[in-house]
Structure 1
């Protein structure tokens, strides 16, 4: 088996525990749509990408364009307001990042978080220098990571067989599949474990276990099970 030498990490919900900020922001945006607030378990059971589909699940109907724009504006402003006071690195995240380097690997970061805010958060938490490359979202909100992952893998200039992704969502699994790289999913972030397991990708409960499995997981040989729009 080709040795795994590079890891592409997800940020939100994987390295950064921002679940509380996400929940507060979602509930503020739902209030504007006259929808009752949800709890963290409802969030993790329902969340999916593209994000407008997540709101559609909660409303029981698709959002209009104006509703989506208003909800997203409210969410983004609320998230930025709450994030500094409610977020922190996931338990074991710093140790996992250092462990990968100690085992001779390189690592990068690919996030759907706004690029400039991502770089600021990496600096704030003191982990920015641990990544060979860090890329956030530069386009519209609400989409999937698949196209960005394909570009990211190409920019790394490494054989896909040497790369593994670690993330917390079904969208991370789909993006890795489309980029032709292996993936390990962490069950402590935005998605419930059932949604992660439904992708067919391996699921772990600690980032230390994610590292151990990433080092030995075979490269993908067949498409994963599809789970609709869930991500």
Structure 2
């Protein structure tokens, strides 16, 4: 059995930080602010579609995404794992499950974030993310991973917090 974990919002409790940074960046560019409740309701992938829903123009998107990423990286130390995340990961690991993190985050940043939580060391077979900061989709990343490893998709569960993870 294989478990593919989403990172942001699933293992990592970072929604308050995400919303704070969203609002800082949106305010700088004259876009409307959001609450955590609204964010949870309307957030989707690709992230560009979420930004469009807020009113971010195609022209502004690259700069807004860049500024958001810089703010998130600078403030990542404020994020914590969900209360029982490490315990759940350890239980699945101890039961012999294959586990990997599959994220729409940029892969180098993702790996740097995961290692900040020593309680997760050695729990994952792989930590996989995208090659840029635009968070388009992780679907193909997951399919390629399962194929490369020879894991049966029918014996795989993806645990996440957005419709993109379903």
* Alignment TM-score, normalising by the size of structure 2: 0.92
Q: Which piece of structure 1 moves more, 139-148 or 96-105?
A: 139-148
Determine the structure 2 residue equivalent to 1:87. Answer: 79
Matched, 1:156 2:149: yes
Between the aligned partners of 1:40 and 1:159, the Cα distance in structure 2 is 36
Between the aligned partners of 1:20 and 1:108, the Cα distance in structure 2 is 25
Counterpart of 2:102 (choices 88, 95, 110) is 110
Structure 2 spans left out of the alignment, 5+ residues = none
Determine the structure 1 residue equivalent to 2:6. Answer: 10
Between the aligned partners of 1:140 and 1:97, the Cα distance in structure 2 is 26
Between the aligned partners of 2:133 and 2:64, the Cα distance in structure 1 is 14
Counterpart of 1:23 (choices 19, 23, 43) is 19
Q: Does the 8 Å CA contact 1:25/1:79 hold for their aligned counterparts?
A: yes
Highest CA radius of gyration, 1 or 2? 1
Structure 1 spans left out of the alignment, 5+ residues = 174-231
CA apart distance, 1:171: 0.7
Determine the structure 2 residue equivalent to 1:129. Answer: 122
Q: Does the 8 Å CA contact 1:17/1:89 hold for their aligned counterparts?
A: yes
Q: Does the 8 Å CA contact 1:110/1:152 hold for their aligned counterparts?
A: no
Counterpart of 2:50 (choices 32, 50, 54) is 54
Bigger relative contact order, structure 1 or 2, given CA contacts below 8 A and separation 6+? 2
- Report the RMSD for the aligned CA atoms in angstroms: 1.5
CA apart distance, 1:140: 5.1
Between the aligned partners of 1:162 and 1:45, the Cα distance in structure 2 is 30
Between the aligned partners of 1:35 and 1:164, the Cα distance in structure 2 is 37
CA apart distance, 1:22: 0.8
3-state secondary structure, aligned to 1:124: coil
Q: How does 1:35-54 map to 2 (within 5 A)?
A: 35-54=31-50
Between the aligned partners of 1:94 and 1:31, the Cα distance in structure 2 is 35
Moved beyond 4 Å, runs of 4+: none
Between the aligned partners of 2:61 and 2:21, the Cα distance in structure 1 is 14
CA shift in 2, pair 1:136/1:23, >3 Å: same
Determine the structure 2 residue equivalent to 1:99. Answer: 91
